[in-house]
Structure formats: structure tokens, C-alpha cells
């Protein structure tokens, strides 16, 4: 499998719901279709929030990882 090319990194560490989703939504609007954003969060609620947001917006949640003290998401812009 080829390595994913991340074009934008967004660190929302220290922000609480709904800010990780709000910041991700704003950042993805500035991207081209097919590009990938990496978002880092420290809010435990971001795991279900990002899954729900991706499902609702139809952007592709490629990866979501609980890394202990933070959560990492890779999202592909689909439209």
C-alpha cells in the first residue's frame, strides 16, 4: 500500500468539543478534492465526533487512532 500524502496538519490539542470538528471543517474547505488532512486532538469526545462528522459530510475518515494522550485522524476531502 502506498504511503498517504498529508497536505495539511491541524493540531487542536487543548480544545474541547466542538472546536476540533469546527476547525477541521474550516480547514477542509480550503483543500482540494482528494487531499488529506491530519488532525490531532486531546479531547476524548473527538473520536465519536469525527466519525459522526465524516459520516454526515461524506468526507472519508481514513484513520482514527487513540494514541494515549491524544487522538489522530486522517481525513480525505471527497467533494
Catalytic residue annotation: 17
Q: Which three cell numbers stand for residue 66?
A: 487513540
Q: Which three cell numbers stand for residue 2?
A: 502506498
Q: How far is CA 17 from CA 23, 33, 35, 45, 50, in A?
A: 10, 26, 25, 7, 10
Amino acid at each position: 500500500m502506498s504511503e498517504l500524502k498529508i497536505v495539511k496538519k491541524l493540531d487542536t490539542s487543548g480544545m474541547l468539543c466542538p472546536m476540533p470538528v469546527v476547525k477541521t471543517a474550516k480547514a477542509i474547505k480550503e483543500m482540494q478534492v482528494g487531499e488529506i488532512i491530519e488532525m490531532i486532538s486531546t479531547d476524548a469526545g473527538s473520536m465519536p465526533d469525527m466519525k459522526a462528522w465524516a459520516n454526515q459530510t461524506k468526507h472519508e475518515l481514513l484513520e482514527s487512532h487513540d494514541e494515549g494522550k491524544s487522538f489522530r485522524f486522517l481525513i480525505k476531502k471527497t467533494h
